[in-house]
Amino acid sequence: MAARIASRLSWNPLRCGGTALPTNLLLLAKLIALAFLITNHVRILPEPFLSFVPALDNLPGPLVKTVVQVLFVTAGLALLFNRRPRVSALVMGSAVLFSVVVSKAYYGNNKTLCGLLLVMTGLWHERIGVALYRAQVIILYLGAGINKLLDPDWQSGQFFHHWASARLQNPIYQWAAQLLPPLMLAKFFCYQTIVVELGLGVLFAIRRAWPVAIWVSLLFHAALLEFTGSTFTMFFYGMEAAMLAFVVWPRNLIVIWDGECGICAKIKNWMSRVDFEGAFHWRTLQSGIGDRWGIPRYKLEQSMHLVADTRVSSGFRACKLILLYNPAFYLVVCALIAGIDSVWFRRIFVGALLAFFFPWFNFIGEAAYNWVARNRYRFSSQGACAVEPR
């Protein structure tokens, strides 16, 4: 049944399977397209103005803008609804990059990045894989770090001080800066940013360092959002989505659960309904399937287990991975962040997500999970059928 679901092309925007693109790359492109559309980015697509290619200034402005807007929205919707996703991503990304070229006023690193990521999705080929995406992230971080390192305003701290105090008027920064010698706090933040960006450029070039690099990148951009309250137009969405290029998406996902637990059955049924890919295969511990991976029966009785290809996780960690390996989770999170126009909501929501998934939170999550697991039969007296083939 799961194989049939995965192979059938769906109009469901929460689906990322059944196409020629790998799940993580289609999800990457969908997240960018969703953020573009929900934030109504189409309204700021420009007419030709101070083009990087002067000849483009001679194009009929209103007509060009209308054509680009139509292509942008049409391709974005087609991408979300799984209609020729590679062509759709290529068209949408090209519309963004064309807008960058025809208007210096529209140009921005964040838009250029997102346009390039979409175009890369359109040009994806299995022989190239995700090399272009990864190279783009490495170049971005190294370029940003070197650019700041050579900038006198970043060296002196003037850039950050003016930005945080005059433009953002951040009260915490203004208060803390007064307690220290002039520009000391600004210099600290400037050089901290430079070190982080250069460090990420190096870490993303080392395969073994990817898990650390992903976390540092997520925390870095989340910290910018928390400090400024801004997503920097599309930069937050683009950089967070780009992390999926460094994730090895599992092909086989097996959840081993207690088939005699009523509440476990309810959770399993709910999770199956939101598994639009049909990617998770739920097997009861009573079926004996745990023997395939040498998992002792007593451990299976203590907590749920997830087998992702050959990696085995249990308890709270397994719960987190079930969320992280479901594309619908990312798309719903993106829709909430982009769609709810509240600075404080974004700050609280992003902070809560990071706290939940951050490894240091595991001891709290495990304690809560273990308490529920120990008392699961008390929560529901209704059992479930545990008869299931291996």
Query: Residue 103's beta-bridge partner residues?
Result: 49
Residue 369 identity: Y
* Residue 1 pLDDT > 50: no
From residue 314, alpha-carbon distances to 81, 97, 100, 185 in Å are 34, 44, 47, 43
Q: Is 174 exposed, middle or buried (0-12, 13-18, 19+ CB in 10 A)?
A: middle
Helices (H), 244-314: 262-273, 297-302
> How confident is the model over 174-182, as a mean pLDDT?
94
pLDDT of the residue at 123: 95
pLDDT(102) > 70:
yes
Share of the chain above pLDDT 70, in %: 95
Q: What is the pLDDT of residue 388?
A: 53
| Residue 2 pLDDT exceeds 50 | no
Contact 51, 104 (CB under 8 A): yes
Residue 45: its H or E element: none
pLDDT confidence bin for 381, thresholds 50/70/90: low
DSSP code at position 46: P
pLDDT at residue 375 in the model: 86
Which of 111, 42, 44, 112 is CA-nearest to residue 73? Answer: 42
pTM of this structure: 0.93
CA distances from 273 to 10, 278, 279, 280, 328 (A): 15, 9, 11, 11, 11
Overall average pLDDT of the 6-32 stretch: 88
pLDDT band at residue 18, thresholds of 50, 70 and 90? confident
| Res 173 pLDDT > 60 | yes
The share of the chain scoring above pLDDT 90, in percent, equals 88
